[in-house]
Each structure stands twice: as C-alpha cells, then as structure tokens.
Amino acid sequence: MFKKNNTPIGYINIDLDESHDLGYGLKKEYWHQRIVSEAVKAIIQQAQKEGLNYLTATHDIKNIHSDHVMKKAGMHYCYSYKEH
C-alpha cells in the first residue's frame, strides 16, 4: 500500500501456497482511516476473479480492529488456537 507520492505505508498479500493466507499491516499513523478495510475487500475480489475459492487469515485475539476488518470483508471466524 502506498500514499499518493509512492511512499510505502503498509502491505497486503495472499500466500499462493495451499493455505491462501491473507496478511496485511499498516503504519500506525494511518490506522483508523479504512485503508486496510478497502485494500482487503479489493484483494479478496481480485482473488475471487482469479479463481481462489477460499482464503485464510489470523489475528491476535487482542487485535479487535483486525477482527473487524476481516468481518467487514465477509470473512467468518472458524477457530482459535494458542501459540507456544
């Protein structure tokens, strides 16, 4: 993700292995501006056009904003796990 002057402000990607894991991040000064929400929706639409029939994504349980981004994009909660 870039500002209008091509300065990087974050990233978004989908792993093309069988996990199809969606990942994203944004510099803190750009939080709460719907940038990630719009980017996630756009990349999901593009993935569907290219024939990906599912995506996966995870977020820290304390990161409610990322949870909201995923839900707004139409993703659904499946399970929780604990890292060791």
Residue spans of the domains in the chain: they are: 10-72
Sorted by sequence, the CB contacts under 8 Å of residue 2 that are 6+ apart come out as 8, 9
pLDDT at 1: 65
What distance in Å separates the CA atoms of residue 6 and residue 38, rounded to the nearest whole number? Answer: 18
Contact between 14 and 45 under an 8 Å Cβ cutoff? The reply is no
20-51 tens-digit pLDDT: 999 999 999 999 999 999 999 999 999 999 99
- Average pLDDT of the chain? 90
What distance in Å separates the CA atoms of residue 13 and residue 39, rounded to the nearest whole number? Answer: 10
Beta strands in 1-84 (DSSP E): 10-14, 22-26
pLDDT at 6: 84
